[in-house]
Amino acid sequence: MKKNEDSHSDPAWNLAELLERVDNDQELLRDLLNIFKEDFPLTMRSLETAVAAEDLQNSARLGHTLKGMLSSLGGVRTAAAAARLEAIASAGETASLKGALDALKCEAASLLPELEAYMAEVRH
């Protein structure tokens, strides 16, 4: 649980780290955000279905995919929430799965507006 507590001190979106990763390439950054905008909702929907069906294997796999996607994009806290969900599903803790999904959605709710705002800003 320590990791969970620590992650609250992280920003929802670490733009500085992402800019470093893309070598300040704004075009690449826009590309990544567009891919994310398309892939994230689809993966989330699949995850919700898997969690509702208590499908541990697919929940773990989709949690892993989201963790990778979010961490590449600098969505530190949301990535940590996805990692927790993956760990819970891998450990077979069906009872905790729904709570982990809610936590992930909660983190995503604070990340997505930041990304949208940035995209709107760079578009103009």
Task: Decide if residue 83 touches other proteins (CB under 8 A).
Answer: yes
Q: Enumerate the H helices of 12-93 as residue ranges.
A: 15-21, 26-52, 56-73, 76-90
Closest CB 115 distance from other proteins, rounded Å: 12
Task: Decide if residue 80 touches other proteins (CB under 8 A).
Answer: no
Closest CB 53 distance from other proteins, rounded Å: 19
Q: Which of residues 13-72 bind other proteins (CB under 8 A)?
A: 20-23, 25, 28, 31-32, 35-36, 39, 61, 64-65, 67-69, 71-72
22 or 119: whose CB is closer to other proteins? Answer: 22
Report how far apart, in Å, the C-alpha atoms of 41 and of each of 9, 34, 66, 69, 85 are: 26, 12, 10, 12, 17
Closest CA to 32 of 59, 70, 3, 76: 70
Contact 72, 112 (CB under 8 A): no
Amino acid at 53: A
Task: Decide if residue 6 touches other proteins (CB under 8 A).
Answer: no
Q: Which residues bind other proteins (CB under 8 A)?
A: 20-23, 25, 28, 31-32, 35-36, 39, 61, 64-65, 67-69, 71-74, 83
